[in-house]
């Protein structure tokens, strides 16, 4: 009798699972499989970084947005997918991938050893370099080493400040006397710099270039890069199938000139900025 009741429970459970699968909660082994089946994808980008990912109307615009469209179209067999855009700040990128809020992230997402255990990275698709931005009339900071005893921004979820304040291997300059000022994101960092609540903003040169361009000449970039920041394409940990497809797409976009066109479109002519000319080598999917 007990065995018959147990079998009945298992049968009901199996039926419930089948209904759930047919009811729209379908899961996929990879993003590539999802694209093939549904032609839909949710993409995480920044919404507050001019020239990279800045929300205008209902969707963001910028370099990362254009790269996302191009890469996803390539891995979708040349068919542009239906994209839902989701703001992904530095502080929530890993969580959004892990819990399925987004399928893939293009958001100035530097590939680091600390992030690799949580994220499978495609790319990099471009290499940025950490630099320093100051107010146009500031003559006291002419090189990164001048940030000793200065106020620099500490944006939530970003490790750029560590490159200044800590020695190798985690940092670069070891300027422990630099004072960090907290901010929710880099747009707030720039606001604080405008209001003289900071002496400098230091992060990737592409991020700085976008803000400098938006500010119309109120800021200057020192043009003295001191790190390589490999911008990766974030995928849920273990999605090697999509990662490999992404790497093929990135190489093709460099080979056919699309990446150079997009870099020139969004960053061309920025003083102190040297743009990448060649495709960075892929990291390998792990």
pLDDT tens readout for residues 91-145: 899 999 999 999 999 999 999 998 999 999 999 999 999 999 999 999 999 999 9
pLDDT at 16: 32
CATH of 31-127+230-267, one of 3.40.190.10, 3.30.930.10, 3.30.2010.10, 3.40.50.300: 3.40.190.10
Say what the pLDDT of residue 27 is. 87
Q: How many CB atoms lie within 10 A of CB 1?
A: 5
3-state secondary structure of 131: strand
Enter the tokens of residue 117. Answer: 């255990």
Q: Where in the chain is the domain with CATH 3.40.190.10?
A: 31-127+230-267, 130-221
- Average pLDDT (161-182) is 93
Q: State pLDDT tens for residues 44-60.
A: 999 999 999 999 999 99
Say if residue 269's pLDDT is above 90: no
pLDDT digits (tens, 9 = 90+) for 210-240: 999 898 889 999 999 999 999 999 999 999 9
Q: What per-residue confidence (pLDDT) applies to 238?
A: 97
Q: Which residues pair with 183 in a beta bridge?
A: 155
**Contacts with 105 (C-beta within 8 Å, 6 or more apart), sequence order:** 43, 44, 45, 88, 93, 96, 97, 233, 234, 235
Rg (CA), the chain: 22
Taking the C-alpha atoms of residue 42 and residue 48, their distance in angstroms, rounded to an integer, is 18
- Taking 70 as the threshold, does the pLDDT of residue 4 lie above it? no
Give me the pLDDT at residue 271, please.
Answer: 79
Mean pLDDT across the stretch 252-267? 97
For residue 169, give every residue at least 6 positions away whose Cβ sits within 8 Å of its Cβ, in sequence order, or none: none
pLDDT at 25: 65
Q: What is the mean pLDDT of the chain?
A: 89
Tell me which residue of 195, 276, 175 sits closest to 230, measured CA to CA.
Answer: 276
Q: What is the pLDDT of residue 108?
A: 93
Q: Which two tokens stand for residue 120?
A: 């499978």
* Superfamily of domain 130-221, CATH level 4: Periplasmic binding protein-like II (3.40.190.10)
Residue 217 has what pLDDT? Answer: 84
CB contact burial 116-152 (16+ within 10 A = b; e otherwise) = eeebbbbbbbbbbbbbbbbbeebeebeebebbeebbb
> C-alpha dihedral over 169, 172, 173, 178, to 10 degrees?
-90
């Amino acid at each position: 009798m007990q065995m018959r009741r147990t079998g009945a429970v298992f049968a009901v459970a199996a039926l419930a699972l089948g209904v759930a699968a047919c009811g729209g909660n379908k899961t996929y082994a990879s993003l590539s499989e999802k694209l093939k089946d549904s032609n839909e994808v949710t993409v995480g980008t920044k919404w507050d970084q001019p020239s990279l990912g800045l929300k205008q109307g209902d969707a963001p615009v910028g370099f990362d947005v254009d790269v996302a469209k191009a890469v996803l179209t390539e891995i979708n067999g040349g068919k542009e997918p239906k994209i839902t855009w989701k703001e992904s700040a530095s502080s929530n990128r890993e969580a959004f991938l892990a819990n399925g809020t987004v399928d893939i992230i293009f958001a100035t997402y530097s590939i680091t050893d600390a992030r690799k255990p949580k994220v499978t990275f495609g790319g990099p698709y471009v290499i940025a370099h950490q630099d320093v931005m100051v107010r146009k009339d500031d003559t006291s900071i002419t090189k990164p080493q001048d940030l000793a005893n200065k106020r620099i921004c500490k944006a939530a979820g970003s490790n750029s400040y560590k490159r200044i304040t800590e020695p190798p291997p985690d940092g670069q300059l070891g300027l422990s006397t630099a004072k960090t000022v907290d901010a929710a994101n880099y747009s707030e960092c720039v606001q604080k710099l405008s209001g003289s609540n900071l002496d400098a903003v230091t992060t990737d040169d592409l991020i700085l270039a976008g803000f400098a361009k938006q500010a119309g000449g109120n800021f200057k970039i020192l043009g003295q890069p001191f790190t390589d920041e490999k911008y990766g394409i974030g995928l849920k940990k273990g999605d090697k199938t999509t990662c490999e497809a992404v790497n093929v797409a990135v190489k093709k976009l460099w080979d056919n000139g699309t990446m150079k066109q997009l870099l020139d479109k969004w960053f061309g002519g920025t003083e102190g900025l040297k743009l990448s000319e060649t495709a960075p080598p892929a990291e390998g999917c792990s």
